[in-house]
């Protein structure tokens, strides 16, 4: 729901996720995710414009809160086996996920959902871009949300910024999926 690359999601740490925001700040800061790292060499994102802070849609906030609670339960269950890396998406013992783990789990989710075909996690990003386009978001803004260095990649392959928090994706996703801020 944010258009993050899987390599960015695999490196995402809880200290880069703000599920509450700061409505009292001037200007107010919405709940957001700071996409500043990846599992690439040296932890860098793909391009300079890939560094971006994205407002989270309400449905993503809800899911991430539940996920964080489940992860806390997994931490307790694992006991001393837990290796705390602070990762949002980690194994059942807190260790980083490799690309193979993510693809295998994704294939199982697709199968359980009854979706046919050979899907991969990166197609979620393509879907995000397509939904943004369908939602009337200008290609320049979609490129910013996706962290593309120019619109050509967005236009030809799929259909950055530290501050401010880019909110277009969250607003459109909330409109599409009918979630209102709580």
- Please give the positions annotated as active site: 5, 46, 125, 148, 158
Report d(CA 168, CA 3) in Å as an integer.
12
Per the listing, tokens 């009337």 go with 136
Supply 40's token pair.
């690439």
Q: Could you tell me which of 60, 53, 69 has the C-alpha nearest to residue 19?
A: 60
Please state the three-class secondary structure of the chain as a single string.
CCCCCHHHHHHCEHHHEECCCECCCCCCECCEEEECCCCCHHHCCCCHHHCEEEECCHHHHHHHHHHHHHHHHHHHHHHHHCCCCCECCECCCCCECCHHHHHHHHHHHHHHCCCCCCCCCHHHHHHHHHHHHHCCCCHHHHHHHHCCCCHHHHHHHHCCEEEEEECHHHHHHHHHHCCCCC
């Amino acid at each position: 729901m944010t258009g993050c690359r899987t390599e960015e999601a695999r490196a995402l740490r809880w200290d880069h996720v703000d599920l509450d925001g700061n409505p009292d700040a001037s200007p107010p800061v919405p709940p957001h995710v700071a996409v500043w790292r990846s599992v690439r060499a040296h932890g860098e994102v793909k391009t300079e414009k890939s560094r971006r802070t994205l407002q989270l849609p309400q449905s993503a906030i809800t899911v991430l809160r539940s996920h964080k609670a489940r992860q806390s339960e997994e931490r307790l269950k694992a006991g001393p086996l837990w290796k705390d890396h602070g990762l949002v998406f980690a194994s059942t013992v807190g260790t980083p996920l490799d690309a193979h783990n993510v693809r295998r789990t994704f294939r199982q989710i697709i199968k359980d959902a009854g979706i046919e075909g050979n899907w991969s996690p990166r197609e979620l990003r393509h879907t995000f871009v397509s939904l943004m386009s369908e939602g009337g978001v200008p290609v320049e803004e979609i490129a910013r949300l996706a962290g593309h260095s120019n619109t050509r990649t967005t236009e030809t392959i799929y259909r950055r910024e530290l501050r401010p928090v880019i909110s277009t994706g969250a607003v459109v996703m909330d409109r599409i999926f009918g979630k209102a801020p709580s």
